[in-house]
Copies of this chain bind each other. A is one copy, B any other.
Amino acid sequence: MEANIESKFKAAVSVDNVVFGFDNNDLKVLLIYRGAEPYKDCWALPGDLISLDQDLEQSAENVLQNLTGLDNIYMDQIHTFGRVDRHPFGRVFTVAYFALIKIQDYMVKPSSWAEEAAWFPINEVPELPFDHMEILEYAKDLLKNKIRHQPIGFELLPKYFTLTEIQSLYEAILETQFDTRNFRKKLLSMNLIVDTGRQQKEVAHRPAKLYKYITKRYAQLQQIGFSFDL
């Protein structure tokens, strides 16, 4: 046990990010094309070994920023994966994070050893190296659960959105259908979103009203015992 404490300080830790976006009625995930070993020339989750002189949370943000240019993003720790043989270079534990972004608002720019960065529809993800597929599955499950109990869906939509958009987002993620009238009734009754008075433009049908999410409201409601549920 105590005998060889040095032997225990030989692990590395990495961060792997599962970044979700929503576009054209599809849930998408951000992958990078690896330009470095191991698994050079593969699509993979944006992840990297972290340096040991900064806090874990900070590292998670840095890794993402460094590989994709994304900064100041909603991120949440998911789970830590630690199979002995998961990395060919040695013992590497990886802490997985998930992030939600408004695809339209960010230009993703690959940098460092990420040669490309691209959005893949969640059902058209190529084979992934390491245990990245397992991580992705874990993240999808978490997203499904989380989106029903916390108002995080709005992180995936543009600032102004229609009720139809948010409904199809929920339908895409949860893989179900909702009744339009009941869905709207319930969502609006929570008072988390408001009609901005704006409308869609240049659509070949009746233009939809544009709503926005009121961030502050959720915190207020939570304090009086409200719990989000869809």
Contacts and interface: CB of A to CB of B under 8 A. Distances in A.
Interface stretch (A22-30, A49-57, A163-171, A183-191): A49-57
A155 to B, nearest CB: 20
Interface string A6-28: 01111111000000000000000
A8 B91 CA distance: 11
- Copies of this protein chain in the complex: 2
A218 interface: no
A81 interface: yes
A93 B56 contact: yes
A90 interface: yes
**What interface size band does chain A fall in?**
35 or more
A8 B63 CA distance: 14
A154 to B, nearest CB: 21
Interface string A32-70: 000010000000000011111111110100000010000
A59 B80 CA distance: 13
Given A13-B13, A93-B93, 11 more contacts: A7-B51, A8-B12, A8-B50, A9-B11, A11-B13, A13-B93, A55-B82, A55-B83, A80-B80, A82-B95, A93-B95
Interface of A: 1-2, 5, 7-13, 36, 48-57, 59, 66, 77, 79-84, 89-91, 93, 95, 112-113
16 contacts: A1-B112, A5-B49, A7-B52, A8-B49, A9-B10, A9-B12, A11-B12, A13-B82, A52-B91, A55-B82, A55-B83, A57-B82, A59-B82, A77-B79, A77-B80, A93-B93
